[in-house]
Structure 1
Amino acid sequence: MADYTVNDLENWSYYQYPKLFLSQRSNAYLKNEYGDYIRDEQGNKIITHKVRETSSYAQMSDKAKTLYMILFDRLCLSFKTNQELIKSGVSSKNLDFVDSNGATYIIFSYEELMDRMDIGSRSTISKLKKELLEQGLLREQRMGINKPNRLYPQKLDEQRKIIERRDLETDQLIDCFDYQGQRIEMKKSVESPRLTGSPKNGLPKSGLLEVQKVYGTKPEYKQIDKEEEEEEAPEKNTLSLTELETSQEEQLVQEKQEALKLKYGEAASQMIDEAVLSTHQNLKNAAYYWTYLLKALDNAEALFKLKQAEPKAKTPKPKLKKKDIPNWSHPHYENHTTEEELAQLERIKRETLEKLAAQ
């Protein structure tokens, strides 16, 4: 083993691994109405829920991701070669690996890919290329008999990014949003998407509203679209897109309230009241009422958990010293009054009563 030095980094080369190929997690923290973090007694920020960023690319096999990196590296080599040719005075019409539309392609034989990836099966390379084709990351153009196909690695689509909101304790999926922050509807069973590309410019046209297969056996996501809803049920769907989103937000709030009641019982009523009060006091745009209320419910639950976690201070009972304890309260006290003393007390009592009667 050996550590890297600054000089070593200049002499080594690596394949670029796109971040969209990986899923990553982070935490969401509790904030007040001014956007400042709320901290506990130890000064730590309070976590409200988990955030998981993923994409349909993350579900590809590791070998398919490796194949894309190899193809992209060869594409970068083509770019570099053409830049050197342009600097030397070569016309853009005479550049290598550029088609009539100006798109850059690469040539990679099956044998070369098999050797590069240490794969002994031609069919395995075909399956990996098919994965990239289905994800819209590769376009292949046949050039005829005994001629190698042209490979066009495609650009990654940032619109494939999906942001999941998950429960802090159970990690259960609560909600999910697209790259613009728009809520995505979760559906249990839908067909896999078919991505189509344009041979003219080499860029796939994958719309935002297409179904993205994100989890396999887990829920799949579908962007809410007014026209698509109307095609499925033209007679029933009379809501506008804004009204549709509002009704879904309201449903999420109702589900959240029911979950709080089921989990916390009577304490949930106080949390709900606090969330509603906070919403009415701080909300400036009524169009976002249900969105704000949903967030306020999360905050109220987080504060309740924080209070429950705080140790309750017990007030110690004062200990009486032995000399301060009266005889009548002593558990082992015995009456030592003599018969003579009792007779004297009885005489004093009788004389006192006679004096009171004489008055």
Structure 2
Amino acid sequence: MSGPNTSYDPVQVAPLSAENVEAMIAEAFAAFAAATSVAELKQARIAHAGDRSPIALANREIGALPPQARKEAGARVGQARGRINTALKEREAELGAAELEQRLADERVDVTLPVELHPQGAVHPITALMQQMEDIFVAMGWEVAEGPEVEAEWLNFDALNFIPDHPARTMQDTFFVEPADGGIVLRTHTSPVQARALLTRDLPVYVVCPGKVYRSDEFDATHLPVFHQIEGLVVDKGITLAHLRGALDHFARAMFGDTRTRMRPNYFPFTEPSAEVDLQCFVCHGASVGDPDNPCRTCRSEGWIEWGGCGVVNPRVLQACGVDTDVYSGFAFGMGVDRTLMFRNNAEDMRDMIEGDVRFSRSLEGLAR
């Protein structure tokens, strides 16, 4: 049986000498200091602190030493590895902080700059104008009423005193939902909402009814098959034509400023008496009438502009909706929202309102509010 190894060849364990260990430490420190990025430091760590690094290989030589030399060499290599790892962590923290600072500087955003990252849309002028109209009547104590755009023929015509062979009930004027004899139409006005209000609400009724309507009209600069209306209905005790005139004057001034209205006799099945509402021209205020030297393009030198229809609610309409005509009376009116927008903002072509071009909405943004 052989005895313990009490002697060793110092040449074969030269990597464990104090000079060589210090050299390894110096090389590692120099490599860490030379690294200018975390990626370069990673390569330096593999070369000087990895499993195949000089200090790791020297650590494996400790087992070849006799017991009396093993303790001293182990302590020397352990301290060296500790110093290398400490230097590595310090350099890694320095480079990480430097790279983070550089990244923050490169990606810095100046939030004070007036930068528009995404193009902004705009509220459509028709929508804005209808909201303004609603606000006018809500401020007067009225309510906003809405109804379906696909409507029963009875509510669209019969309840409003349209006779069975009225021209408006033909396919040349009205869109019928198939089957054609099914009694369902795309509403031709928002008046069915008024009938629904009378059928579902307690009296008195003060409602304004904005919405989209459909008619078989030409598609040109002044006509659209799909357009917007706003109608008003009041049913209460003692309502007269004078109340209608006062409401329309207030509405007109809210829409067009300093202007006047007039009523011309007309016929509508759902009102009696009925009238057309005209606005005094808000451009020439009637001064162009009879003055060929100063013509007005807005009113064509007539002094007045047609705005909508109105009248006292026909008793037959009230009776169809279950209202006692001996106790209650009322008035109703209706105006085109699209035409009102044309009057207010000098829009020349109604087709611009449905093209979906945001530039049109932006050009009138704020004017219709």
User: TM-score per shorter chain, which class?
Assistant: under 0.3
Greater length-normalized contact order (CA 8 Å, ≥ 6 residues apart)? 2
The two structures have a TM-score, normalised by structure 1, of: 0.21
Of structures 1 and 2, the larger Rg is shown by 2
Higher strand share: 2
